[in-house]
Amino acid sequence: MLYYPPSHAMAIDCIVKSKSSVPEMCQEASKSLVFDASLLQHQNSIPAEFVWPDHEKPCPNPKELPVPLVDFGGFLSGNPVAAAEASKLVGEACREHGFFLVTNHGVDSDLISNAHRYMDYFFELPLSEKQRAQRKLGEHCGYASSFTGRFSSKLPWKETLSFRFSAEKNSSHIVQEYFEKTLGDEFLPLGEIYQEYCNAMSKLSLGIMELLGMSLGISKESFSEFFQDNESIMRLNYYPPCQKPELTLGTGPHCDPTSLTILHQDTVGGLEVFVDGEWRSINPNVTAFVVNIGDTFMALSNGRYKSCLHRAVVNNKTPRKSLAFFLCPKEDKVVSPPNELVDSNNPRIYPDFTWAKLLEFTQKHYRADMNTLQIFSTWLQQQKNS
């Protein structure tokens, strides 16, 4: 039985009372507010919906977090000593704060720079053009600008474009088809680049899953096979400059509900991780990917590794971009830890669930934060009991 401190009980109570939604996720959110950064960023005042509470506002000059640098080259070349060393580093990072950098990753640098270049092209289009890919309520794919119409307060100062990736052989063009179908033939070059980028991310994810398996003392195939046919989410984050960056957040504090995040940030900086009671910055390193585990992997590891709290701050000078590949299992796969990670000293912490159900929870019932998995576990139980 999971224990919930009173605050969680209240959140659960909200879910039960309002039959499915919690205060933050409300259908009656102000639809009139349109986030057109090209207009908003020149206004003197920031609409109240974008101003975060004092205890969540950005801190001036956060200290840098020295994140372990995992050299992936030796592992890729099949060197068992290098693989063991990389696995040890990954394990240490995941036991501490869940973030590490991966270098010598084998992903073509031209592919990465093209992926960034095409982000500039897309997000600099007129809002009406971008809204042709408008995310529908309850859907995780599409274009979203600060989630107006989805949340009623603490709106993130960002625009996003999210789309599906599938590692299944019969879905090898799913990304290209999305761009062509949603935005038109002239967007085929973007579709090709992001298809290639997601293929590379999927391959890198499976290698990292081998290192994670080794670091937990189970077979290196255990997790990589689980994600072989992954149905993942690719998200392009675009953070326009904000005239009052001390009042807003690009992405609020959260743990990723997904399994593994492979993030490439540009040279601007703004990613922060909450470690030992304070926000610490992860400084840009364009030759490396920033990797962190999410809630679904925390459940898969039976809580051995923690999904970590992080956020993104904005600035008043230049747009910031990040490409986030969210590794997710095939939607109907049951998320359940390997037997080796469950024993009398390590009883089960989370119930079995499917990623489809957790995704539905974050898209229709609950704004992902630092408590998502706990609240989801109770919501799931209540669904089963009703």
Ligand X SMILES: C=C1C[C@]23C[C@H]1CC[C@H]2[C@]1(C)CCC[C@@](C)(C(=O)O)[C@H]1[C@@H]3C(=O)O
Ligand Y SMILES: O=C(O)CCC(=O)C(=O)O
CA distance 290 to 282: 9
User: Which of 256, 300, 302, 374 is close enough to bind ligand Y by CB under 6 A?
Assistant: 256
280 is catalytic: no
For the CA atoms of 116, 67, 205, 114, what is the dihedral angle to 10 degrees? 10
Q: Which does 313 bind (CB under 5 to 8 A by kind): Fe ion, ligand X, ligand Y, none?
A: none
Contact 53, 155 (CB under 8 A): no
Rounded to the nearest whole angstrom, what is the least distance from the CB of residue 316 to ligand X in the complex? 21
Q: Which does 322 bind (CB under 5 to 8 A by kind): Fe ion, ligand Y, ligand X, none?
A: ligand Y
68 vs 252, beta carbon nearer ligand X: 252
User: Which of 148, 166, 230, 251 is close enough to bind ligand Y by CB under 6 A?
Assistant: 251
Q: In the 3-class helix/strand/coil scheme, how is the chain assigned residue by residue? A: CCCCCHHHHHHHHHHHHCCCCCCCECCCCCCCCCCCHHHHCCCCCCCHHHCCCHHHCCCCCCCECCCCEEECHHHHCCCHHHHHHHHHHHHHHHHHCCEEEEECCCCCHHHHHHHHHHHHHHHCCCHHHHHHHECCCCCCCEEEECCECCECCCCCCCEEEEEEEECCHHHCCHHHHHHHHHHCHHHHHHHHHHHHHHHHHHHHHHHHHHHHHHHCCCCCHHHHHHCCCCEEEEEEEEECCCCCCCCCCCEEEECCCCCEEEEEECCCCCEEEEECCEEEECCCCCCCEEEEECHHHHHHCCCCCCCCCEEECCCCCCCEEEEEEEECCCCCCEECCCHHHCECCECCCCCCEEHHHHHHHHHHHCCCCCCHHHHHHHHHHHHHHC
Rounded to the nearest whole angstrom, what is the least distance from the CB of residue 157 to ligand Y in the complex? 11
- Asked if 155 touches ligand Y (CB under 6 A), the answer is no
User: Which of 265, 296, 302, 307 is close enough to bind ligand Y by CB under 6 A?
Assistant: 265
183 vs 290, beta carbon nearer Fe ion: 290
Q: How many residues bind ligand Y (CB under 6 A)?
A: 12
**Amino acid type, 131:** Q
Question: Residues interacting with ligand X, by CB under 6 A?
Answer: 140, 156, 233, 235, 251-252, 254, 256-258, 326, 359, 362, 367-368
Mark 89-121 as b/e (b = at least 16 C-beta within 10 Å). Answer: bbbebbebbbbbbbebbebeeeebebbbebbee
280 vs 310, beta carbon nearer ligand Y: 310
Q: Which residue is nearest to ligand X (CB)?
A: 254
Rounded to the nearest whole angstrom, what is the least distance from the CB of residue 44 to ligand X in the complex? 26
97 vs 135, beta carbon nearer ligand X: 135
User: Which of 175, 312, 335, 375 is close enough to bind ligand Y by CB under 6 A?
Assistant: 312
Rounded to the nearest whole angstrom, what is the least distance from the CB of residue 367 to ligand X in the complex? 6
Choose, from 135, 150, 235, 320, the residue flagged as catalytic: 320
Neighbours of 274 (CB within 10 A): 17
Q: Which does 114 bind (CB under 5 to 8 A by kind): ligand Y, Fe ion, ligand X, none?
A: none
The residues in 246-305 that bind Fe ion, with binding defined as CB under 5 A, are: 256
130 vs 254, beta carbon nearer ligand X: 254
Rounded to the nearest whole angstrom, what is the least distance from the CB of residue 311 to ligand Y in the complex? 7
75 vs 376, beta carbon nearer ligand Y: 376
Sole window of 12-20, 186-194, 262-270, 352-360 interacting with ligand Y (rule: CB under 6 A):
262-270
The residues in 321-350 that bind ligand Y, with binding defined as CB under 6 A, are: 322, 324
Q: How many residues bind Fe ion (CB under 5 A)?
A: 1
Rounded to the nearest whole angstrom, what is the least distance from the CB of residue 385 to Fe ion in the complex? 31
Residues that bind Fe ion (CB under 5 A): 256
Residues that bind ligand Y (CB under 6 A): 235, 237, 251, 256, 263, 265, 270-271, 310, 312, 322, 324
Q: Enumerate the active-site residues.
A: 320
